[in-house]
């Protein structure tokens, strides 16, 4: 991997909310890109002219590079979610670095710039992996609202979890890949206009 474009300080923990947010929130989507569900999410976001962050898995992104372009062309952020979605803290440091570096390399090759953010699978960071993240030029992205959509609890449950728990500065965790995400797509279609009507402004997280 080439030299990172940024040299962030090593954090002691991930970023769990937006600072000085006002009514800004961050919608994030993990485990894609997926050829069926990512485009559906992108269409809904475009309909309401809002931005989100897509935390992509390298082994998926390498199969669908055009979807990375579609995400970026929509004004959204592309973040690093490792290459194969392992629990990074269970790996030896060299293997954890490879998981993140390989994905950053791919994103840079496809989009012309490396990612600014990384999300550890399962949100599991430790001092070693936080150091690797910073060394690769990325900030660690967490979340404050977990929709539990990966378990497919039902569209209503996903929608209610967002509308119930979101507040100023929230980072919302959803999934556009990793399985059947039709419930997630339907939930985004339900909750997004209601968030906007409530005055929330979905944005990309700032550095």
Q: Is the pLDDT of residue 2 over 70?
A: no
The percent of residues in the chain predicted with pLDDT above 70, rounded, is: 98
CB 152 within 8 A of CB 124: no
- Our answer to whether residue 85 is catalytic in this structure is no
- The model's pLDDT over 52-70, given as tens digits with 9 standing for 90+, comes to 999 999 999 999 999 999 9
Residue 6 contacts residue 158 (beta carbons within 8 Å): no
Of 76, 81, 85, 175, the catalytic one is 175
Give the whole-angstrom CA distance, residue 163 versus residue 30.
Answer: 19
HSE on the CB side for 91, CA within 13 Å? 20
Q: Answer whether residue 132 is part of any domain.
A: yes
Does residue 8 form part of some domain? no
pLDDT tops 60 at residue 3: no
- Confirm whether 11 is domain-assigned: no
Residue 93, domain extent: 24-202
CA 76 from centroid of its chain's CA atoms: 10
The answer to whether residue 207 is domain-embedded is no
Please, what's the largest Cα pairwise distance for the chain?
47
Whether residue 59 lies inside any domain: the answer is yes
Residues 77-109: pLDDT tens digits?
A: 999 999 999 999 999 999 999 999 999 999 999
* Count of domains forming the chain: 1
Q: What is the pTM of this model?
A: 0.96
- 30, 31, 149, 176: which one is catalytic? 30
């Amino acid at each position: 991997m080439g030299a990172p474009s940024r040299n962030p300080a090593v954090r002691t923990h991930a970023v769990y909310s937006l600072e000085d947010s006002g009514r800004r929130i961050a919608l994030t989507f993990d485990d894609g890109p997926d050829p069926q569900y990512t485009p559906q999410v992108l269409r809904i976001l475009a309909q309401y002219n809002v931005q989100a962050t897509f935390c992509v898995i390298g082994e998926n992104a390498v199969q669908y590079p055009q979807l990375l372009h579609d995400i970026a062309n929509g004004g959204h952020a592309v973040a690093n979610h490792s290459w194969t979605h392992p629990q990074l803290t269970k790996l030896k440091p060299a293997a954890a670095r490879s998981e993140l570096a390989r994905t950053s390399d791919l994103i840079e090759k496809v989009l012309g710039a490396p990612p600014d953010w990384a999300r550890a699978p399962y949100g599991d960071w430790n001092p070693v992996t936080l150091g690797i993240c910073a060394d690769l030029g990325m900030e660690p992205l967490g979340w404050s609202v977990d929709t539990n959509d990966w378990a497919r609890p039902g569209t209503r449950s996903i929608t209610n979890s967002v509308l119930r728990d979101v507040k100023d500065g929230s980072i919302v965790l959803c999934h556009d890949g990793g399985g059947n995400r039709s419930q997630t797509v339907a939930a985004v279609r339900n909750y997004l206009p209601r968030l906007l009507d409530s005055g929330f402004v979905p944005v990309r997280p700032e550095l």
